[in-house]
Amino acid sequence: MAYIKAISYYLPEHVVTNEDLIAEFPEWSVDKVAKKIGVYSRHVAAEDETAGDMAEKAARKLFEEHDINPQDIDFIMLCTQSPDYFLPSTACLLQNRLGIPSSSGAFDYNLGCSGCVYGLAMATGLIEAGIAHNVLLITSETYNKYLHPQDKSNRSIFGDGAAACLVSNNGFAKIEKFVLGTDGSGANNLILKTGASRNPQPTGKCVVDDQEHIWRDDYLYMNGGAIFNFTLDTVPRLLNELLEKNKMTTSNVDYYVFHQANAFMLNALRKIVQIPKEKFYINMEETGNTVSSTVFIGLKDAMERCDIKPGMKVMIAGFGVGLSWGGTILSFTK
């Protein structure tokens, strides 16, 4: 069996408020951004601050806040779509920077909004197979470095941040069974087309999509309508499959922490699956959508606010870029 033993997170120092965005885009209003997106401010990585830097800071907070000795770590996994280098793996650099034993395994994996859940699934497999005993799972993303300065929609949504989680053979939340899924046919709905091997050089190309949003090859593009429809179609099925696989009903689930995409989408989703407001986590006012880190940040926040208490069963789910999705149940120990 595998458990979550500790969670910490790091947010960059620089904060961009809605007032800052309105100064650049006066056709918007502060209330409009806050009401639709659910975000009042977001943290943005410094120009010279990488996902690896943020991952290191999140891990060091984890060690300090929970009295964890890095010498006890025997595997490192880093979820990021903005690695420090194409190679080597940023996780290998973190092994050295964090003073983790060289006998530890380490790798990066490229995934976005469902990355936290996928990481928990892999960490659970490593522990249950006896390959590792203490897995340091880190999520870290600097999407703001991929956004065009005039992309007011995505700049209002995304924040940068990192989270660190220790998965072990004991802890405060037992990790139950998983449901994972992928639909690569929707890959173009959330994509950065240039910079890697398929299209290594910038093209400067941009077109207007069917929602009159500009699709720039050299910057992150998100088809908001398509992602919205994907979420409302996929997540209710994911919820039902999770309940069935874990032999549960909705009455057995005490709380839900889903990927914090945006408030409008989450509220629509909550109504479709008929989850009471008091059992459904939404809090991205000061962080925005931090991609793979939203679920870990949400879990820690909900525990600190006592929305999650010992003895509760909590459903977590991630969904988005890939397209991909995943979920599991966390059984908090009494």
| Known catalytic residue at 66 | no
| Known catalytic residue at 113 | yes
Token pair listed for 82: 């903005």
| Known catalytic residue at 154 | no
Catalytic: which of 113, 134, 144, 165? 113
Residue type, 200: P
Catalytic: which of 144, 154, 189, 259? 259
- The CA angle 163-64-52, to the nearest 5 degrees, is 40
In contact, 179 and 241? CB cutoff 8 Å:
yes
The secondary structure of 227-262 as a DSSP string is: HHHHHHHHHHHHHHHHHHHTT--GGG--EEEE----
In contact, 78 and 98? CB cutoff 8 Å:
no
Residues 6+ apart with CB under 8 A from 110: 79, 80, 81, 83
Token pair listed for 29: 């209003």
Helix locations, the chain, DSSP H: 18-24, 30-37, 51-65, 90-97, 115-128, 152-157, 224-245, 263-273, 294-304
Q: What are the residue numbers of the active site?
A: 113, 259, 289
